[in-house]
Amino acid sequence: IFASVELAPRDPILGLNEQFKADTRSTKVNLGVGVYYDDAGHIPLLKAVRQAEARLFEQAAPRNYLPIDGIPGYNTGARTLLLGAGSPLIAEHRSLTVQTLGGTGALKIGADFLKRILPQAQVAISNPSWDNHQALFSAAGFPIVHYDYYDAATHGLNFDGMLASLRALPAGTVVVLHACCHNPTGVDPTLDQWQEIARTLQAGQLVPFLDIAYQGFGAGIEEDAAVVRLFADLGMTMFISSSFSKSFSLYGERVGALTLVTGGDEESARVLSQLKRVIRTNYSNPPTHGGAMVSTVLNTPELYAQWSEELAGMRDRIRTMRHQLVEKIQAQGVDQDFSFVKAQRGMFSFSGLTKAQVDRLREEFGIYAVGSGRICVAALNSGNIDYVAQAVAQVIKN
């Protein structure tokens, strides 16, 4: 039965990691990853998480199956982060949340559910986007189209192009939007632009699917939820996939959530019952440990405060790296303007480096970036930033 199975193409980013591992140069730097590293080059284990884990260890609770939709406190915690503590959508049961296996799991459950309720729809994704968006929605059976997003000439948003492509979409199209810290570009619309984007979706009867995998890495936990709340304030029903992988530095625990905003209490009950069927036939119920840790942090005021402070530390460090990178490249006598890197948000930057320059960085300097020029700013640190700035300057100058 396996004789005709073809070898699938290698995942470009995971392939890059393998190449990086095999590189024996001591100066090598991996900017291809999608992971936050601290200034010492380590993936942090947050103090808030450690304390939550210690409490759970003390409790030594049995590991029964969780409910199909996950831990109730986790779900209310995740929903509150998105909609805000005082949101009428929570009080009026016009929203519901299920615990999922990372943000990817939320997208997958959302996509499978959408296929059941809108089987004829197409899905629109930004150009460019996180590669898995296209893969996930097309695996769920949807045709994929792209809307304009990035403007290579300005290293910013092609706002007019974006609106024009959104306006051209047929009613019922599902539109996947990065609610903050766009991956891979680092370019986000302003809040005024988001107002217009939301109104365009509403006028065109398009279905918003907001993906928020980096809440807290832009301007702050509350600030980064502004886009979700803006859509909610317009009374739109929508899908929101969220992830704690980065914000809690819990990549391998698979902690995410799918939140739906519905038309009302009774609709929420019907929708939840169907979502549970989708989950049941995918993996039955989510795992306990990561969810229990996140739930403990979100629902314990002193741990929440600790987490919020640690997340602010990660956000600030990335911002510092952005500023230093721009200044250090400039100090090497490079004419090309890199200041746009400072305005980008989140872990990533579309650096504007060409494929040929990325190749040279890897071959001559052992600096690994994605072929598109995407670099992970969160992998820069005080030990490697001078080396990276010098190398970038060299590949640009000659």
Contact between 147 and ligand PMP (CB under 6 A)?
A: no
Tokens 């990660």 belong to 314
Q: Is 115 annotated as catalytic?
A: no
Q: Tell me how far, at minimum, the Cβ of 346 lies from ligand PMP, in Å.
A: 9
- Contact flag: residue 34 with ligand PMP (CB under 6 A): yes
- Cα–Cα distance, 126 to 136 (Å, whole number): 14
Smallest gap from Cβ 92 to ligand PMP, in A, equals: 28
Q: How far is the CB of 55 from ligand PMP (least distance, A)?
A: 24
Site string for ligand PMP, 183-212 (x = CB under 6 A): x---------------------------x-
Examine residue 245 and tell whether it contacts ligand PMP (CB under 6 A).
yes
- Positions in 75-114 near ligand PMP (CB under 6 A): 102-104
How many Cβ atoms are within 10 Å of 42's Cβ, its own excluded? 9
168 in helix, strand or coil?
A: coil
Question: Are 393 and 336 contacting, i.e. CB atoms less than 8 angstroms apart?
Answer: no
Active site residue 307: no
**Nearest to ligand PMP of 178, 328 (CB atom):** 178
**What x-and-dash track marks residues 254-293 binding ligand PMP by CB under 6 A?**
--x-------------------------------------
* 194 annotated active-site: no
CA distances from 238 to 93, 114, 162, 200, 273 (A): 14, 11, 20, 14, 17
Least distance (Å) between residue 325 CB and ligand PMP: 21
CA nearest 72: which of 96, 88, 55? Answer: 96
Among 115, 126, 125, 119, smallest CA distance to 150 is for 126
User: In angstroms, what CA-CA distances link 107 with 104, 149, 176, 276?
Assistant: 5, 20, 10, 15
Hey, which residues are catalytic here? 130, 211, 246
Residues in touch with ligand PMP (CB under 6 A) = 34, 102-104, 130, 178, 183, 211, 213, 243, 245, 256
